[in-house]
Structure 1
Amino acid sequence: MQLEGSCHCGSIKFSVESAEPVPFMRCYCSICRKTAGGGGYAINLGADHRTLKITGKRHLRVYKATIVEGDHVRHSSGQRHFCGLCGSALWLYDPSWPDLVHPHASAIDTPLPKPPASVHIMLGSKAPWVRVEGRKGDERFDAYPDFSLKEWHVKRGLVSKPEKTGNTEAAKPAKTPKGAKALKNAKPNKK
């Protein structure tokens, strides 16, 4: 599925191909909620970095988070891209996975498929004022789960599949399963 996105002021526009366009995973870590802004969590999508096209690059800025673990301080390899004019969070790129890019769902202008359920991650570091809402049966994890965005989509038959249209190929999302039945085999961490 081709995703079109932009910052709030319109100075940066981008497009990228995504086989994992369902905005299902809510990350409550301090980096996501503070750099994406506006709430208690952020939602990142999975996309093919090789297809990323950007206009307005001169306004693009990058932030690399500082991570403090006890007495140890390090810089994240993740590069959080945002608009230098309006501050809109746009995507995360990490050179550790050079073929991937993670656009923020909030920056996408293309209508996204509705998720059959949500997965709440990094609850061990959520802000104390945040109330975790969602559907009965939503998975909840104190840290990162042991599955990727791609694995979640594949398991539920939600990966966009190529569809031939004339001499070109376009991505077509697979059918979305109904309800939380899609999560029946999930194994969330217990508190």
Structure 2
Amino acid sequence: MLLEGSCHCGSVKFTVSSAYPYPFNLCYCSVCRKTAGGGGFAINLSGRYETLIIEGKEHTSIYHAIIDGKESPAERHFCKHCASALWVYDSRWPELVHPFASAIDSELPIPPERTHLMLRSKSSWVEVEKKPNDKCFSEYPEESIAQWHKRLSLEK
């Protein structure tokens, strides 16, 4: 599925191909919730890095989070004008890019279940809206984005 995304002010537009476009992974870690905002969590999708096309790249900047006292190699790309979170790229998995669902303008499919992860880091004011088939994890689940889509026969 071709995903089209942009920042709020329109300075950055991008497209990326994704076989795994369901926005199901809700991450409550401090980095996601503080840099991406939202309901106390952020949702990342998965795309093929080689297909990422960016218009207005000069309007982006990169943030490397400090995790356990060390700079993360993960690059959190955002618009330097409006601060919209756009995508995460990590050289440890060079074939992947993870756009934030909040930056996607394309119609995304509704997931049949969701995964709530990094719940040990969630803010106390956040109530987890768990549906009957949802899975909850205090840290990371073992199942990857690709494995989740394959298990539910949802690849695009």
Calculate the TM-score normalised by the size of structure 1: 0.80
In the TM superposition, what is the alpha-carbon distance from 1:39 to its structure 2 partner?
2.6
The answer to whether structure 1 residue 10 and structure 2 residue 6 are counterparts is no
The answer to whether structure 1 residue 155 and structure 2 residue 151 are counterparts is yes
SS of the equivalent of 2:150 reads helix
- Name which of 134, 141, 151 aligns with 2:137: 141
Between the aligned partners of 1:159 and 1:38, the Cα distance in structure 2 is: 26
1:110 is matched with 106
Q: Which runs of 5+ in 2 are unaligned?
A: none
2:77 is matched with 81
Aligned positions, number: 156
- Name which of 118, 121, 129 aligns with 1:122: 118
Between the aligned partners of 2:72 and 2:143, the Cα distance in structure 1 is: 20
In the TM superposition, what is the alpha-carbon distance from 1:126 to its structure 2 partner?
0.7
Between the aligned partners of 1:84 and 1:51, the Cα distance in structure 2 is: 23
The amino acid across from 1:147 in the alignment is E
Determine what percentage of the aligned residue pairs are the same residue: 56
1:34 is matched with 34
In the TM superposition, what is the alpha-carbon distance from 1:123 to its structure 2 partner?
0.3
Between the aligned partners of 1:38 and 1:46, the Cα distance in structure 2 is: 19
User: Cα deviation per residue 1:112-157 (whole Å; 9 max; x = unaligned)?
Assistant: 0000011100001111111101312310000000011000001110
The answer to whether structure 1 residue 131 and structure 2 residue 127 are counterparts is yes
SS of the equivalent of 2:148 reads helix
Between the aligned partners of 1:47 and 1:100, the Cα distance in structure 2 is: 6
Larger RCO, structures 1/2 (Cα 8 Å, 6+ apart): 2
2:53 is matched with 53
In the TM superposition, what is the alpha-carbon distance from 1:38 to its structure 2 partner?
3.0
Between the aligned partners of 1:155 and 1:53, the Cα distance in structure 2 is: 29
4+ aligned runs moved over 3 Å, structure 1 = none
The answer to whether structure 1 residue 100 and structure 2 residue 108 are counterparts is no
User: Cα deviation per residue 1:34-85 (whole Å; 9 max; x = unaligned)?
Assistant: 11113300000010000000000111100000012xxxx1111110000000
Larger radius of gyration: 1
SS of the equivalent of 2:149 reads helix
Calculate the TM-score normalised by the size of structure 2: 0.98
The amino acid across from 1:149 in the alignment is I
Alignment RMSD (CA, Å): 0.7
In the TM superposition, what is the alpha-carbon distance from 1:2 to its structure 2 partner?
0.2
Between the aligned partners of 1:57 and 1:23, the Cα distance in structure 2 is: 24
